[in-house]
Structure 1
Amino acid sequence: MVGKLLKRIVGRKLINIQQINLSYCLHFLKRCCQVFIMNIKDFRAKLTVVYLGYVSDVMLTVALALGLYTEWTNSSNTVVLLISLCGLFVCVISCALQYYFNYTSGGKALLHIWLGCILGVITFNDSQEYQYETLQESMNILLISSTVFGWFWSICERFLQKKKYNAGMFSPAECLESLGLAIGSLVIGTVDSIAITICIVAFILNLTAIRLKSLLGVLTLISLFSFFIFIFLPSLAGISDGGVHRNVNVYGLMCFAGRHLFEPVVDLYFSNLSTLERWQAFFIKSGFTRRLVIAFIFLLNLVSGSLIGRLSANHKEWFVVVPLFSVFAVVWLCFHILYLISTWKLMNKITECNLTYNCLSEDNRSMNRILASKGIRHFSLISRRIIFLTLITTILLMGVGWETKTNYSIGLVMTILPIEAVTLSLFWELGDNLGGTCTGYALIAPHTCQRSNGGAKLLSAMNVQEIGSRATATLNKIQQFFSFNMIDNYGCDFSSSGITADYLKSKVMQFFERRTGDGPRYDTYLLYYCGDCHDSGDWALTGNGSLKFDTLIEWWTQKNGESGSRLLLVCDTQHSWRWAQDVSKIDDNYVALQTCKFTRVPDPEFGDKLTVGTFTDDWVTYNLTDDIEPAWSDKKRIVRGVYKVSKYWTNFVFHLPTVEDIEEHWDSNFPKFTKPLIKGVNFCETGGLCCICDGIRQFVKRKRMQWLPPKASETGHGFKLVRS
């Protein structure tokens, strides 16, 4: 009786415990459902953005497992079994590193190498005997499906704006899987793994060219695919191993190429990074690293040229081919020496730009302005012709050695082509999109309200102190303007006692004679003046002297000649706006005047705060922040902006290299024995093919500037001319 009672009590307790556990479970499930319903939108977003990204890799893993199983069941090859076991072991280690030791990068690296290695084993060990089996066909379907699903995931990620675009030349996944693919081809031993590795490297370099926004990289990629499909694959398909004819699994190659090619191509549209911003991943490397890369590229060129030259000796008509190749090789080598020197010089300039960039504050950093201020635009306009001819000689080298070609020779050329193509794109971008060079000189004198008859008013000590402090503030402001826009500062002269005529002529003439470090004249000469002036707009000098507008233009014409440079006058005075009509009549020089006009005459004697110097403060602030208060168009504004340009100002283009510039550049940078090649560089000068259309366009721009001048006119140096 006691035993039955105990059993009943224990049974009831167990039932109660089970009921309690069940109620807890139901409550937990109910709570989960409530949370799920409340956050269903967030869950969908996470499902789309996070978890779907793994589906492609899962499908690829299943496909590779099917491929290994099919290979093992049909061939009973113990090597395949060992590879499968090693792959399983690596997969376990990868998961442990990622989720247990929280070492995500190491775990993903092992996973990508393993995926690439297994893909290489399956791709280069495909037998024709069982290529139509169900498991093999299922594997091929999964390979293509994983690629397509990866594309879909990439598009969704970009449409949902979950993709962060960073400057980079390589993707870790593509590099690691490429390494694994090369290892897989080496493990199989039935294919030429060296030639396959060269093709893989060429493919990665083409992806880099596309990632750096080089349209020429697309053409080199198409050339690589053509070579691989029509020349390389047939040579691999003819290899037999132990009496079993081995083929290359095209679906595996399509999976590998599709996984890594899609994102760089679509990012040409989706990524808002400019070409120069994408190159920052390489520019920020140390100078030693960048020069080492350039030296390695030159060595790679020498290896490819030597190999093609060695193979040309095997031609059946070697007695004709070898001498012709020798003559061409001299030209080819000379251009590649010029390529080496040009890229080396560019890296030196990039190092200087990096030092300048690191010295500036974060608000004042702009690599484009720094590059423009170092004269890289003019350097690139000359160098891009050399790089273009270098690329042509590389293509011709492949044509010369076509009859005696091998997979190695063509593979090496296909490796070099994207490098030279992306280099040409870089120099083209630097030449077309960087601003020109600009130098500036500022003259500042205290504004004392000069009378039209040359007399001066007596001011109190307080007013004199205020005038001096205002001139000092103007000096600091214009120096800040020069620094922000990377204008080569010739000097900012401040004279508390006024400016003499002889001193002014000496300094201005020296300023107009200035040249860049590479030799050519600056594109723009900015001359700033703030101080007294007469009612006619002429600058007031000491000893009742003055500087007339015609005299200033005469000095400019004498020093500028026919160089095509332009003069920009920025005058913060009371009456300089009277020079505006004189500027508009100039038809033989590019001249612009930026000045101001007061709606009422300021007088510091009566405590008027809107005095000379106010316009400089507003104009500089506008060009630094693109915003001022009150706005230039505000009718209540007392200091109004005025600018006027010469008749053909809109026809101005930044300095283009002339024959003399190229010769000077050649003499100062390249060896003398390459001087005969200068004719080819001059022949490649790109002029206006549609001169009639150019003339019409210039005429329309000129008339628009005369009749409907814009409120703000861009100068091409990062600052604008403004009018109210």
Structure 2
Amino acid sequence: MLRSPRYLVSHCLRALMTKLQDATPGMGMRVSVRYLGLLADVTLLVAVCVGLFARWERTDNALLLVLFVLGLLVLALACVLCYYFSMERAGGSLANLWFGFLLGLLALLDTKDAVLDVKEEATRYLLLTSVGLKLLWALVERVCGYTRRTPTLVTGAELLQLLGFSVASTAMLAPQCANVVLLACAVGLCIADLRMKSFLAPLNLVAFGLLTALLFFPSLGVSVNPYALGCFFGRLVAGPLLDLYFCGLSVTERWQPYLQMRKSLRRLSVLALAATELFFLALSACALADLHRWYIVIPGFVVFGILWLGCHLALVASLWAFHNKLTDCLGAYTLLRASGKGLDGVMASRGMRHFCLVAERLVFGALMSTSLLGAVCWQAHNGTFMAAFLIILPLESLLFGLFHELGICLGGTCVGYALIIPTAYCSPDGQPLLLPPELVESLNVRSTGTLHTVQRFFAHHMVETFGCDYCTSGLTLEYLQAKLRTFFDMRTQDGPRHDTYILYYSGHTHSTGDWALAAGGESLKLETLLEWWKERSGPHPCRLIVVLDCESGAQWARDVRRLAGPQGFIAVQAAVIFRTASDADAVVTMDGAGASLPGEFTRRWVDFNCGGGAATWEEKCGSAGAVYGVSSSWGDYRMRVPEDAAAGSAYFPRPLRPLVRAASCACCDRLGGFGLGLGLGVLCEVCSRCFRRIKLRWFPPAALDTGHGFKLVKS
């Protein structure tokens, strides 16, 4: 729904940049944008110089003067490295380090009896101007497309500025210095939270700003410069905050540094997270020493501490299980990289989406338990506790954002079954006929090629193969019923049902579209197939896609459009085999003159969906037409979510399964209410559902995306 306003804003900003480029014809737009960034840095340098000089005049502290002169020399050295020796990386690193250091001195070494003279007032205005110019530069750079979209959690420049700020805190007392260093770590995590576009990142940023300004720095007992602090934090979060809107990287691209990290480092990250959580729990226990609120703190710590411990054990277990599954996915991705398959496709085929939905509930429960425990054990005069709390919040917000986005963007699992009967002719009464001996070899070659094509389709889209049956003598309805019922009962290795079931058939059909089975005139009707499907799928929201490469398959595609809600989510992709007038009354020869034989549509459809190079279906279809039909409720389908608390317990070790079920039950309702409160509401969902139904019924797209990497097409 935000797409139209987004395009409007983008076009307006682009027009403004075009006017600016026309106004500076002798200078490239990229150079102009770079000068704007330099202007923001020069403004900051002037503000720091004026502020430190005013501080030295007021306190007569020689150390400030020495650091001030040393900072100017280092910045001059950085300029020399950049512009005379072309060492931009080294010069930029020095500049960022000292900008953070000098700005930290200006922010943390303030005096309570400061007099607002001309220099102080000029410093404040210059600091605010620097933030404004930095924000404008970041906006213009993203509108013009001059930013390099490199996946990273925190850039090197941001790390160096945070390091310089932490070094500046050494001028304070040791406990205060440690708290400021922890706060710098929390700032880095907030930046990573924004850059990863976490779902809770804006809310977390607001909470961080309020807690830092109103509670953290007053707890240190020192006077700080709010303008310098605002300038430092504002310059750091300007780019990541704009990237919430402008960053076009996918979820797996943004999280690439973490997802493709070495296995040992990912294991260490889980252990580091567990150690940080235990550190926060130990700091929360310090609230028990407050005897003035013992009637609140002690019962609250016992109740919410047990809840916190259980939820975070489930959190660590889910993160460990996630890395186990991710290791398997990375192994498969390494083998399939040459075929052009992305990591998100591999993760989808391995059932990662369902696992992420389970883990999302557990992480949300851990986040809520952290908030409750922090509120009960809040220590207004303990800066270490507040800094640890500000570290834990973005950490858990990052994990929640990771599982939430993967659960949304990843496709579901898919299983397929193919049935090929090389019978191309029938008698006038609809019974299949035996082929003449001279046509058997040619028909077998064509049918075998179709079989290999279907297998290639399953392998390319990583569809789990239930089987590909090639029947030359036909089969009975009883055998087909047993086979399809077993196919419809297929589940993933972790236990849940597949999201989509693909049934492929190539063979002879009657004029009604019913499958003609070479055994006593038996046939399979669409109603019978749907009855078997409904019997096996039950209440689970799964999809059935039937692909037909036969003469009368289009009839099923038309019939399926009349199916209502109780029949489920059904789609039929059928070939339209064109015959000439002379072919209607005669047996078609095997060279295919005047006709497109069964198998031609399969080859072209698979080439289209496996990256054959064509942009549209019309460029690939040739003589093989196509038509698809979907049930009326097809547009209502959403990838399956865990049905109950026990749905995802199979992912975890047996001793932890009761704990995981309890944690999932505790947070499931909260998460559902939370998502409903932030969504557009039930009314908007109903309207959107009606719109999708009307669109699919009256204006079906030429290519309908299934969410598994392939499309249903119509000529």
Matched, 1:429 2:405: yes
Q: 1:265 to 1:699 in 2, by over 3 A?
A: closer
447 and 361 in structure 1: CA distance in 2 versus 1, 3 angstrom threshold: farther
Name 1:402's counterpart in structure 2: 378
Q: Distance in 2 between matches of 1:508 and 1:479?
A: 18
TM-score, with length taken from structure 2: 0.85
Do 1:377 and 1:436's aligned partners in 2 also have CA atoms closer than 8 Å?
Answer: yes
Q: Which deviates further from its counterpart, 518-527 or 289-298?
A: 289-298
Deviation by residue 1:304-332 (Cα, 9 ceiling, x = unmatched): 11111123222324366324412321111
2:575 aligns with: 596
Q: Distance in 1 between matches of 2:469 and 2:136?
A: 63
Alpha-carbon contact 1:206-1:218 (below 8 Å) kept: no
Q: Deviations over 1:440-470 (max 9, x none)?
A: 122234354344343234253xx54443333
SS where residue 50 of structure 1 aligns? Answer: helix
Q: Which moved more, 1:120-129 or 1:435-444?
A: 120-129
Instruction: Provide the C-alpha distance between the structure 2 equivalents of 1:216 and 1:650, rounded to a whole number of angstroms.
Output: 29
Single out whichever of 136-145 and 93-102 deviates more from structure 2.
93-102
Q: For residue 722 of structure 1, what is the aligned residue in structure 2? A: 713
Q: Following TM superposition, by how much is the alpha carbon of 1:101 offset from its aligned partner in structure 2, in angstroms?
A: 5.7
Q: Secondary structure in 2 aligned to 1:360?
A: helix
Question: Kindly tell me: are residues 221 and 562 of structure 1, through their superposed partners in 2, closer, same or farther at Cα, counting changes over 3 Å?
Answer: closer
Task: Report the TM-score, using the length of structure 1 for normalisation.
Answer: 0.84
Residue 219 to residue 653, structure 1, CA distance change in 2 (3 Å): closer
Assess if the C-alpha contact under 8 Å between 2:48 and 2:106 holds in 1.
Answer: yes
Cα contact 2:259–2:326 (8 A) shared by 1: yes
The gaps in structure 2 that reach 5 residues or longer are 1-22
Please say if residues 124 and 185 of structure 1, whose CA atoms lie closer than 8 Å, have aligned partners that are also in contact.
yes
**Match status 1:308 vs 2:284:** yes
Aligned residues of 2:626 and 2:713 also touching (Cα < 8 A): yes
> 2:548 corresponds to which residue?
571
Partner in structure 2 of residue 153 of structure 1: 137
The aligned residue for residue 19 of structure 1 is none
Alignment partners' CA distance in 1, 2:684 and 2:122? 59
Structure 1: gaps (5+ residues): 1-38, 240-246
Report if aligned partners of 1:313, 1:322 keep a CA contact under 8 Å in 2. no
Name the residue aligned to 1:34.
none
Partner of 1:54: 38
Asked if 1:518 corresponds to 2:518, the answer is no
**1:622 corresponds to 2:608:** yes
Preserved contact between residue 309 and residue 401 of structure 1 (Cα < 8 Å): yes
The one-letter code of the counterpart of 2:238 is: F
**CA distance in structure 2 between the partners assigned to 1:45 and 1:685 by the alignment:** 47
For structure 1, which segment, 357-366 or 700-709, has the greater mean C-alpha deviation from structure 2 after superposition? Answer: 700-709
Give SS of 1:126's match: coil
Structure 2 CA distance, aligned partners of 1:706 and 1:120? 62
Task: Indicate how the Cα distance of structure 1 residues 284 and 398 shifts in structure 2: closer, same or farther if over 3 A, else same.
Answer: same
Give the match for residue 438 of structure 1.
414
Is 1:458 the counterpart of 2:433 in the alignment? no
Q: In the superposition, relative to structure 1, how do residues 91 and 105 fare at CA in structure 2: closer, same or farther (>3 Å)?
A: same
Contact 1:373 1:438 in 2 (8 A): yes
Identify the match of residue 226 of structure 1 among 191, 210, 227.
210
* 1:680 corresponding residue in structure 2: 666
Equivalent residue for 1:356, pick from 332, 335, 347: 332
Which SS does the other structure have where 1:443 is aligned? strand
Q: What is the Cα deviation at residue 654 of structure 1?
A: 2.5
Question: Are 2:359 and 1:383 equivalent residues in the alignment?
Answer: yes
Distance apart, 1:669 and its partner CA: 6.1
> Superposition pairs for residues 20-419 of structure 1, below 5 Å?
41=25, 43-91=27-75, 93-95=77-79, 97-98=81-82, 102-128=86-112, 131-189=115-173, 192-236=176-220, 238-239=221-222, 247-318=223-294, 321-361=297-337, 364-402=340-378, 406-419=382-395
Aligned-pair CA distance for 1:180: 0.4
Partner of 2:7: none
Preserved CA contact (<8 Å) 1:212 1:279: yes
Q: Secondary structure at the match of 2:672?
A: coil
CA distance in 1, matches of 2:296, 2:128: 49
| Distance change >3 Å, CA 660–CA 574, structure 1 → 2 | farther
CA-CA distance at 1:137 after TM superposition = 3.5
C-alpha separation in 2, matches of 1:450 and 1:540: 9
8 Å CA contact 2:475, 2:519 repeated in 1 = no
Q: Match for 1:712 among 669, 685, 703?
A: 703
| CA deviation after TM superposition for structure 1 residue 708, in Å | 4.9
The aligned residue for residue 459 of structure 2 is 483
Task: Give the distance between the partners of 1:404 and 1:670, measured in 2 at CA.
Answer: 39
SS of 1:642's equivalent in the other structure is strand
* Counterpart in the other structure of 2:641: 656
Q: Which residue of 2 aligns with 1:29?
A: none
Distance of aligned partners of 1:667 and 1:417 in 2 relative to their CA distance in 1, 3 Å threshold: closer
Name the CA shift for 1:191/1:605 in 2 (closer, same or farther; >3 Å): closer
Q: Give the SS at the match of 2:547.
A: strand
Superposed displacement of residue 417, structure 1: 0.8
For the residues of structure 1 that align with 2:33 and 2:297, how far apart are their CA atoms? 59
* Percentage of matched positions with identical amino acids: 32
Q: State the AA in 1 paired with 2:349.
A: S
Aligned length: 676
Matched, 1:562 2:545: no
Describe the superposition over 1:530-578 as per-residue Cα deviations: whole angstroms up to 9, x where unpaired. 2334445343445566541244344434432332322211111122233
Q: Distance in 1 between matches of 2:476 and 2:520?
A: 10
1:283-308 superposed Cα distances (whole Å, 9 cap, x missing partner): 12122222322221221111111111
AA at the equivalent of 2:572: L
Q: What is the CA RMSD across the aligned residues, in angstroms?
A: 3.4
Is the CA contact (8 Å cut-off) linking 1:287 and 1:348 kept in structure 2?
A: no
Task: Give the corresponding residue for 1:30.
Answer: none
In 2, Cα distance between the equivalents of 1:196 and 1:51?
A: 33
Once the two structures are overlaid, the 10-residue window that deviates more, 311-320 or 257-266, is 311-320
Deviation at 1:613, TM superposition (A): 1.0
Q: CA deviation at 1:54?
A: 2.1
Instruction: Please give the alpha-carbon distance, in whole angstroms, between the structure 2 residues aligned to 1:190 and 1:133.
Output: 32
For the residues of structure 1 that align with 2:557 and 2:114, how far apart are their CA atoms?
86
Do the aligned residues in 2 keep the contact of 1:515 with 1:522 (CA within 8 Å)? yes
Instruction: Mark the CA change 1:58 to 1:154 in structure 2 (over 3 Å): closer, same or farther.
Output: same
The 1:78–1:404 alpha-carbon spacing in structure 2 relative to 1, beyond 3 Å, is closer
Does 576-585 or 494-503 show the bigger shift?
494-503
Q: Distance in 1 between matches of 2:699 and 2:41?
A: 60
Alpha-carbon distance, 1:472 to partner? 3.5
Measured against aligned partners, the alpha-carbon deviations of 1:37-94 in whole angstroms (never above 9, x if no partner) come to xx97352435303333322222323333333433444444332244245434534554
Task: Supply the distance in 2 between the matched residues of 1:214 and 1:467 (Cα, whole angstroms).
Answer: 56
Letter in 1 for 2:544: L
SS at match of 2:67: helix
8 Å Cα contact 1:375-1:437 kept in structure 2: yes
Shift in alpha-carbon separation, 1:286–1:157, aligned structure 2, 3 A? same
Query: Secondary structure of the residue that 1:127 maps to in structure 2?
Result: coil
Q: Matched residue of 1:721: which SS?
A: strand
The CA deviation at 1:99 is 5.1
Amino acid corresponding to residue 622 of structure 1 in structure 2 = F
Higher Cα Rg: structure 1 or 2?
1
